[in-house]
Amino acid sequence: MRFPVSIILLLSVTLALAQSEPISHASGLIVQKKFKSAYQVLDSADAANQNAEIVIAKTDLLLNHNIGVNNHRVFALNDSAANQSVTQNRPIYVNFPADSILKELIDKYPANYTLHKSLGDYYLDVQLTDEEGWMMSDSALVAGIKDNYLQAYQHNVFDYKSLNGLGYTAILEEDFETAIGYLEQSVKLNKNYPVSLSNLTDAYFATGKFDNALLSAQNAFGLYTENTDKAEAARKIAEIYIEMKQNDKALLYYLKADDLIPNDYLTLIPILKLEMELNNSDYANRTNQIITLAPDNPVVYQDVYKVYSENEKEKEFVDFLESQKVYYRSNVRAQAHIHFYMAVAQYEQDDWVDAKINFEKARNLFRGFFKSNHSVFNVIDSYTNAIRKK
């Protein structure tokens, strides 16, 4: 039996309205931060995950509003509305293997490139979360992000987030000019999305476009609201100023990063370096601040010594370590590292006698917690053997 065209059109419109109604209802609930309720509306409309538009809406909701995720298979959602009872405030846990569901729908609807974009969103979220022991390698995830976003983009299906994803994967592949092209498009679509601006900063920086990188980084810094993100943006600005030979401005932004996230080692070491290069007297207190973070970690002494050595302040470094002995009398590991790095600095100053004494003190202290085959003893032997030949 053949139906008139008018009836077919009416059925199509009715079906489209039936599909869009739960999505519209869920969107309203999302605006009210009722994420659990929004998912329940979508799932009631398509519990079998056979409707492409509703599956895409579910995927977006789970990726952007979950309060807990287990291997990107089980997600938790809750309503954050006020005046809820204990029962109402309980989260729901959703088993939703989005990649499998989306791949099945892609096979069923190969011309629906929004499905590819949604799968790209999912893979990007997994990759950025650094899900341990996930079923795909990192390289396969990056390829999945790129391939799905690219297929969607080539069919004119994209938004500022997918363009950012394409730019991000291009950066990972060190194809920075391609990254710039995608990221500039992303920023043009949404100038208030700091992630695209931050990635664009990296791409500009890698290609030596420091003026452009600085502008993008400053815009990202202004847009980020979380202290961790804002501090990272401040560090990027500082690194750009260093490349532009404006160390005073670089120090200013590293100090901003330290205000946002105090005592971050990745911030303090470059602050120490800049303060010393700029003859800022704060570097003495900064040295103490850094050592205090982890007095029994050899990397700390190594990094601080490198800064002092580069500025030809080995003797000052030795004097500083000498002053620290009294504070770490009960910390054998700290005492061992102090004597060892005093010895290294004294060796570099041709102070053979004191270097030999401190190497032997360090050796005795290391014996208290390292096995005899530890590499530090070979290092000490190489120094003391060299001293005997002087």
Give the residue from 328, 382, 325, 326 showing the smallest Cα distance to 355: 382
Phi, psi of 277 (to 5 degrees): -65, -30
Phi, psi of 34 (to 5 degrees): -100, 75
The one-letter code for the residue type at 195 is V
Quickly state the pLDDT bin for 130 (edges 50, 70, 90): confident
pLDDT by residue (tens digit) across 91-119?
999 999 999 999 999 999 999 999 999 99
Q: Is residue 328 part of a domain?
A: yes
The answer to whether 268 and 289 are in contact (CB under 8 A) is yes
- What's residue 389's pLDDT? 83
For the cut 50, the answer to whether the pLDDT of residue 11 exceeds it is no
Q: Is residue 374 part of a domain?
A: yes
For the cut 60, the answer to whether the pLDDT of residue 5 exceeds it is no
- What's residue 85's pLDDT? 56
Question: 305-322 burial, b for 16+ CB within 10 Å, e for fewer?
Answer: bebbeebebbebbbebbe
Q: Is residue 338 part of a domain?
A: yes
Q: Is residue 385 part of a domain?
A: yes
pTM of the model: 0.87
Angle at 368 between CA 362 and CA 370, to 5 degrees: 85
Q: Is residue 367 part of a domain?
A: yes
Number of residues that this document lists for the chain: 390
Residue 384 sits in a domain whose CATH number is: 1.25.40.10
Quickly state the pLDDT bin for 82 (edges 50, 70, 90): low
Residue 372 sits in which domain range? 294-390
Q: Is residue 324 part of a domain?
A: yes
pLDDT by residue (tens digit) across 60-70?
999 999 998 88
Please give the sequence-ordered ranges of beta strands (E in DSSP) within the chain, or none if there are none: 68-70, 74-77, 92-95
Q: Is residue 359 part of a domain?
A: yes
pLDDT by residue (tens digit) across 245-264?
999 999 999 999 999 999 99
Q: How many structural domains is the chain composed of? A: 1
Q: Is residue 373 part of a domain?
A: yes
